Structure 1
Amino acid sequence: MKLIGHRGARDEAPENTIAGFKHGISLGILDFELDLRLSKDGQLVVIHDATVDRTTNSSGKVAKLTAKELSQLNAQFAHPLWDQACPVPLLKDLLNACPEINSIQLEMKADNRAEAYAVAEATHEFCQQYKGKTNLILTSLNRHCLTTLVRLKSPQPRGLVVEYSFPPPIHTAKKLGCQYLCLDQILCSSARVKAATNAGLTVSVWTVNELEVARKLAAIRGVSSLITDRPSELMELFQDAA
């Protein structure tokens, strides 16, 4: 089973920043999840929200800012004592800075259908040109992102991010040609995981931050990975397993 750093290591370092991913790597985490949006000039930037208000020292919509403007912001807002400024990175810059990473779930974010098409097309194009060794898994809550990848005949593994039990997650994931089912921990039951693995899906569970919850989920046969904001706390579970 893998332990996956959520947005790098969200509760321990500035989220979705190069510094945050390097922090996770320093702990021995080599598998991660991050969020992708498009900047005003069509660049893939690593940020969760539609605006920069929550995570940076500025305000405004990501889609109204260029990649250069985003790179000049400080994304350490939730970690004011962090000892270095952390810009909003381009995906390509993060991957270049962290070549040790084994795999990343790239969660495509969009707030309308047009954005979904655009971010999925840009992510597909990026993956076609990417020459690094990191395994890129394309995921989304947004069905339009995933249907775009189907239309483009993307060869990348992809996954459906699920936070509700309807529409039926396993059926939907298979219909969208997914290989991964990324379940909210509330939806993770032995029966659902068994059905998902029987359908050929790899099950990843988010966001797991409590050690006892992690122990229970890790005991479910078929759970492949746990996504956490607190990798240093959950490492204990994996050390015990070793």
Structure 2
Amino acid sequence: MKNIFIMGVIIGFFSCNSTKMNQQNKMTQFDWQGHRGARGLVPENTIPAMIKAIDLGAVTLEMDAVITADKQVILSHEPFFNHEITTKPDGTPVSKAEEKQLNIYTMSYATTQRYDVGLKGNTRFPQQQKMAVTKPLLLDVIEAADQYALSKNKPLPFYNIETKSQPSTDNQYHPSPKEFVDLLVAVIKHKKISDRVTVQSFDIRTLQYLHQQYPSIATVLLIEDYNKKTLNEQLQELGFTPTVYSPHYSLVNEAIVKDCKLKGMRLVPWTVNDLATMKNLRALGVNGIISDYPNLFYFP
């Protein structure tokens, strides 16, 4: 019992110091983010994907969150089981026709664990390793990633968590923005990562509520490539200046870089999967890059 207590104190000490070191470096270091962990290499939004991203030097683990029927926060890009990656409990693949019927918001967490999201692979990412894996609890992801980083003497990772919601599917595929954010923040606070997390969304309602109720948690405004509004119009609609502006990489130019600097926002575009574009964006002056391939990250 005494040895367990001492080990807990040691881990807590290093955790605290790693967090402080990370926090101090975050605003100055380039923010390499592993998209859905390392989607190009390992099944997306899984613990193995996050571990792979840490191994390859990711500063931040980017991920997507949805809510189960029993109010658990789990990782998933869609609020249903995507036919491209999912195998049913009976071992047969999910079809496109039935995927949206497999609504995670109507399932308990225990039920979601009957569906595999790694054995099938992903035809869009031929390098992705196939493995038996399920959609994990956010709580377990944070615990596993932090423990792994500490065991490898690496800085504790940052977390960039997207709320997967939109007005048209409220209370059908996910709870209201308020409940969604409250459930997410409860996990963030329980794991004591408020200073190592950003919450991102295309759904500005979740960002607005987060900013009002939990102003100490950093926000990220996501922008689709087809969004034709100006930066000023987007911020006016949001109602405040987020910590990070995160557009599709095709929207980044010198004017956007300059405007973000003037407004005090970090600029972290998504999703960049080739080295030449990464280098061009860094030369323009972005503050970070989100990629499916953390093996392309470079550290000059």
Q: Which residue of 2 aligns with 1:160?
A: 221
| Residue 273 (structure 2) pairs with residue 226 (structure 1) | no
User: Take 2:143 and 2:46, find their aligned partners in 1: how far apart are those partners?
Assistant: 13
What is the SS of the residue equivalent to 2:284?
coil
Q: Which residue of 2 aligns with 1:140?
A: 201
Q: Which residue of 1 aligns with 2:87?
A: 57
More helix by share: 2
How far residue 170 of structure 1 moved from its aligned partner, in angstroms, is 4.6
Q: Which amino acid aligns with 2:116?
A: N
Question: How many residues are treated as equivalent by the alignment?
Answer: 236
User: Take 2:64 and 2:107, find their aligned partners in 1: how far apart are those partners?
Assistant: 17
Asked if 2 retains the 8 angstrom alpha-carbon contact of 1:36 and 1:46, the reply is yes
Q: Which amino acid aligns with 1:228?
A: S
1:130-180 superposed Cα distances (whole Å, 9 cap, x missing partner): 225871101100011112213323420111001144433355346234111
The higher radius of gyration belongs to: 2
How far residue 230 of structure 1 moved from its aligned partner, in angstroms, is 1.0
1:176-220 superposed Cα distances (whole Å, 9 cap, x missing partner): 341110110011111011101110101101000011111111111
Q: Which residue of 1 aligns with 2:121?
A: 78
How far residue 40 of structure 1 moved from its aligned partner, in angstroms, is 1.2
Asked if 2 retains the 8 angstrom alpha-carbon contact of 1:43 and 1:90, the reply is yes
User: Take 1:39 and 1:17, find their aligned partners in 2: how far apart are those partners?
Assistant: 16
What is the SS of the residue equivalent to 1:219?
helix
User: Take 2:176 and 2:32, find their aligned partners in 1: how far apart are those partners?
Assistant: 28
User: Take 1:131 and 1:187, find their aligned partners in 2: how far apart are those partners?
Assistant: 34
User: Take 2:176 and 2:106, find their aligned partners in 1: how far apart are those partners?
Assistant: 16
User: Take 2:139 and 2:161, find their aligned partners in 1: how far apart are those partners?
Assistant: 12
Q: Which amino acid aligns with 1:226?
A: I
Q: CA RMSD in A?
A: 2.2
More strand by share: 1
User: Take 2:279 and 2:292, find their aligned partners in 1: how far apart are those partners?
Assistant: 16
1:67-124 superposed Cα distances (whole Å, 9 cap, x missing partner): 1112232111325984641110010000011102421110111143453413222112
User: Take 1:146 and 1:13, find their aligned partners in 2: how far apart are those partners?
Assistant: 29
How far residue 231 of structure 1 moved from its aligned partner, in angstroms, is 1.3
User: Take 1:84 and 1:6, find their aligned partners in 2: how far apart are those partners?
Assistant: 18
TM-score by structure 1 length? 0.89
User: Take 2:37 and 2:131, find their aligned partners in 1: how far apart are those partners?
Assistant: 16
| Residue 61 (structure 2) pairs with residue 32 (structure 1) | yes
| Residue 70 (structure 2) pairs with residue 7 (structure 1) | no
User: Take 2:189 and 2:33, find their aligned partners in 1: how far apart are those partners?
Assistant: 24
Q: Which amino acid aligns with 2:36?
A: R
TM-score by structure 2 length? 0.72
Q: Which amino acid aligns with 1:57?
A: T
| Residue 183 (structure 2) pairs with residue 119 (structure 1) | no
User: Take 2:254 and 2:268, find their aligned partners in 1: how far apart are those partners?
Assistant: 13
User: Take 2:40 and 2:232, find their aligned partners in 1: how far apart are those partners?
Assistant: 30
Asked if 2 retains the 8 angstrom alpha-carbon contact of 1:170 and 1:196, the reply is no
How far residue 24 of structure 1 moved from its aligned partner, in angstroms, is 1.5
Q: Which residue of 1 aligns with 2:265?
A: 201
Is there any run of 5+ residues in structure 1 with no aligned partner, and where?
Answer: none
Asked if 1 retains the 8 angstrom alpha-carbon contact of 2:188 and 2:194, the reply is no
Is there any run of 5+ residues in structure 2 with no aligned partner, and where?
Answer: 1-29, 89-98, 150-155
User: Take 2:214 and 2:142, find their aligned partners in 1: how far apart are those partners?
Assistant: 24
User: Take 1:133 and 1:160, find their aligned partners in 2: how far apart are those partners?
Assistant: 18
- Aligned CA distance change for structure 1 residues 201 and 166 (closer, same or farther; 3 Å): same
